[in-house]
């Protein structure tokens, strides 16, 4: 079991943020706090036609994100970062069995990746104040973020509960260990 402080940053890309996201700057600031305190960072980047093509400005990470020299990068084409990607290989090669998640979009790629990862046995802590999404026809972004934090807190994965914590709590626990 690994004791590394690992942060998985999902889809914090220019093209994803072409659609306005709730409190983008605050989210980036919280993500950066996690990145700065982490031993390892994994950036997940979505790739698809329509502005998220590999190498395009849309595919690039947001300019304000910290990028550690030892960061790992995984490209995906579905909401699930595990689906037909190198993510499991990257995690295994780096002896990572747990991580803190953050990023965009709460109700799509973050949620799907979290649920699949937990079902695969990865120990996941969701940074409850370091993920964001857009307003949707059925619900405002603020409601969606609160809803998914609650869903993740009560997600049933016997023997592998998902933890949902504020960034300041995560950082305090890291400092204490």
How much is the average pLDDT of 13-21? 92
How much is the average pLDDT of 1-17? 88
Closest CA relative to residue 141, chosen from 23, 42, 53, 4: 23
Contact call for residues 30 and 102 (beta carbons, < 8 A): yes
Identify the band that residue 2 occupies on the pLDDT scale cut at 50, 70 and 90. Answer: low
Assign a CATH topology to domain 6-176. Answer: Rossmann fold (3.40.50)
Q: What angle do CA 82, 68, 7 make, to 5 degrees?
A: 40
Beta bridge partners of 100: 7, 125
CA R_g for the chain: 15
Give the C-alpha separation, 157 to 126, whole Å.
Answer: 15
Evaluate the omega torsion of the peptide bond into residue 160 and state whether it is cis, within 30 degrees of 0. Answer: no
Q: Which pLDDT score, from 0 to 100, does residue 34 have?
A: 98
Give the C-alpha separation, 47 to 55, whole Å.
Answer: 9
pLDDT tens sequence across 58-101:
999 999 999 999 999 999 999 999 999 999 999 999 999 999 99
pLDDT tens sequence across 36-65:
999 999 999 999 999 999 999 999 999 999
**Which of 17-21, 85-89, 100-104, 123-127 shows the lowest mean pLDDT across its residues?**
17-21
- pTM: predicted TM-score of the whole model, two decimal places: 0.95
Q: Which pLDDT score, from 0 to 100, does residue 42 have?
A: 98
pLDDT tens sequence across 131-163:
999 999 999 999 999 999 999 999 999 999 999
Q: Which pLDDT score, from 0 to 100, does residue 1 have?
A: 38
Give me the helix-helix angle, 141-153 and 111-119, nearest 10°.
10
């Amino acid at each position: 079991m690994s004791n590394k402080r690992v942060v998985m940053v999902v889809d914090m890309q220019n093209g994803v943020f072409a659609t306005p996201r709730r409190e983008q700057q605050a989210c980036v600031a919280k993500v950066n706090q996690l990145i700065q305190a982490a031993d390892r960072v994994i950036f997940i980047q979505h790739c698809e036609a329509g502005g998220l093509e590999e190498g395009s400005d849309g595919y690039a990470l947001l300019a304000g994100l910290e990028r550690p020299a030892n960061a790992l990068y995984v490209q995906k084409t579905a909401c699930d970062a595990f689906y037909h990607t190198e993510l499991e290989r990257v995690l295994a090669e780096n002896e990572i069995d747990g991580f803190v998640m953050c990023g965009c979009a709460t109700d799509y790629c973050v949620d799907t990746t979290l649920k699949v990862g937990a079902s695969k046995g990865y120990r996941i802590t969701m940074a409850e104040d370091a993920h964001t999404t857009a307003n949707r026809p059925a619900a405002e972004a603020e409601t969606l973020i609160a809803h998914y934090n609650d869903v993740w807190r009560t997600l049933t994965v016997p023997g592998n509960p998902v933890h949902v914590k504020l960034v300041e709590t995560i950082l305090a626990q890291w400092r204490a260990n």
